[in-house]
A and B are shown apart, each in its own frame.
Chain A
């Protein structure tokens, strides 16, 4: 369980250890994570993931986009039912780390102390 400690920890956006995605600016993160643009970067298709853990997820969206999960839910309802995008798939923390380590095109977010061995592509 990571939820009880996450309030005091920083969140970082991470990719796999061999990823060539490079660093993302705040604007790029917003554009890609909120479905404003399709997830292509440096000539490769990138897949963004959410965490099932709602505490970490809430902290990420508050830090990155000043959005609460309630606002985010209404936002995605608009995009999904108008064919403009789908929310990132939700994975458990363990599944996300495994996905990042095996897929160089995957991007996610984690508490800083769980990002060891991964490439940090954005810090708040």
Chain B
């Protein structure tokens, strides 16, 4: 466990050893080059020995105390060429398959020709949900991790490459920003080519005083290619099939977010809905509601979240192997669950927060929820993390 945590511990120790800057960044070249870092070091476990939560990097939480699910360290370099142009790179280090990997999550050129318009070209974390963009920056959130009902254990396509336009709208009663992104994502894995292109989304953000609201809609055309995919599609796409099992389909993501934050209270609400024009892929809706209260450096909070799988109607038109495969896919997507979470955030020093969270998770009968297999009754998840951002 100590060996697993070493790279993250090292970065945290460097920060705390006096090398940390007094402000919120290292200015490597005055007014030009900025270095920022963030990270999370944690431990988590479940109270059941027959289930586990696994993320896309094959890191899991089970009944042993483990840190690799949440542990990560991020680094950002930001270079201002002049008042209009800048270049930003952000990498995220985490453990994958027994070794440490560094992924480029953000890498873009930004041009801001006027005060009310900017354009980013390159790679960015796709802003589907309210905190998608900062989901890895634990310090910027109240929880130990974003609610799993909404954010999942990890998005397989959390970043994409393309264009991001941002307009500040000329309102005087509130700050309003309209954003539009057009991007592309592709990945080849085990002989299967996975492509989403073009991802097109619109985000409207409005804030006034302590209140902020966000609306988002996006379309994601997905294409799967490869010999295995063609064979499977041929097997499932039969005239007798009750549902449409097209592999190339269009996803539609919708998101409504609301935040209230004053000196005493923090309130967060978010609702998402993911739809798709085919029965091969899962449709889901979820919401999460958080209320927290500030007591100086301490903030206890309570969160209630719910996820429902929407297209779980079984297949009855296919026969034999096709029927077994189709219904196995449909059963697998039954991820409906609710969770009640209680946590405390303690801002130990500026830039470092210690958090503890207890999640009480209940799944519907026949649903596996966020777990790899359906749990027998409720599951409790306990997590402690240290988050930092400088």
Contacts and interface: CB of A to CB of B under 8 A. Distances in A.
Contact of B261 (A31, A71, A80, A86): A71
Contacts of A89: 23, 31
A83 B108 contact: yes
B263 A68 contact: yes
Contacts of A80: 24-25, 36, 76, 389
A83 B88 contact: yes
B140 to A, nearest CB: 4
A44 to B, nearest CB: 10
B308 to A, nearest CB: 29
B207 interface: yes
Given A37-B115, A78-B137, A81-B74, A67 B25 contact: no
B110 A78 contact: no
Contacts of B18: none
B63 interface: no
Q: Which of B133, B139, B140, B262 has the most CB of A within 10 A?
A: B140
Contacts of B134: 77-78, 81-82
Contact of A68 (B172, B208, B294): B294
Given A37-B116, A66-B210, A66-B262, A81 B23 contact: no
Interface string A41-82: 000010000101000000000100011111101111110111
Contacts of B297: 70
A78 B108 CA distance: 17
Nearest to B112: A38
Interface string B152-165: 00000000000000
Nearest to B168: A37
Interface in B65-93: 74, 76, 78, 83, 88, 90
A75 B131 CA distance: 12
B80 to A, nearest CB: 9
Contacts of A82: 125, 133-134
Contacts of B139: 73-74, 77
A30 B263 CA distance: 16
B115 A31 contact: no
Interface residues of B, number: 51
Given A71-B261, A74-B140, A90-B23, A83 B120 contact: yes
Interface in A83-117: 83, 86-87, 89-90
Nearest to A76: B24
B350 interface: yes
Interface residues of A, number: 32
A76 B78 CA distance: 15
B351 interface: yes
B26 interface: no
Contacts of A83: 78, 88, 106, 108, 110, 120, 124
A108 to B, nearest CB: 15
B251 interface: no
B76 A81 contact: yes
A30 B172 CA distance: 12
Contacts of B353: 74
Given A31-B175, A66-B262, A77 B108 contact: no
A80 B25 CA distance: 9
A63 to B, nearest CB: 12
A78 B140 contact: yes
B263 A73 contact: no
Contacts of A68: 263, 294
Contacts of A40: 114-115
B88 to A, nearest CB: 5
B230 to A, nearest CB: 39
Contacts of A81: 36, 38, 74, 76, 90, 133-134, 137, 140, 389
A46 to B, nearest CB: 10
A86 B112 CA distance: 15
A110 to B, nearest CB: 18
B34 interface: yes
A59 to B, nearest CB: 13
A39 B175 CA distance: 13
12 contacts: A31-B175, A36-B177, A38-B118, A62-B263, A73-B139, A74-B139, A75-B140, A78-B137, A80-B24, A82-B134, A83-B78, A87-B23
Interface of B: 22-25, 31, 34, 36, 38, 74, 76, 78, 83, 88, 90, 106, 108, 110, 112, 114-116, 118, 120, 124-125, 131, 133-134, 137, 139-141, 168, 172-173, 175, 177, 207-210, 261-263, 294, 297, 347, 350-351, 353, 389
Those 5 A-B pairs whose CB atoms lie nearest each other, nearest first = A40-B115, A77-B389, A78-B140, A36-B175, A82-B133
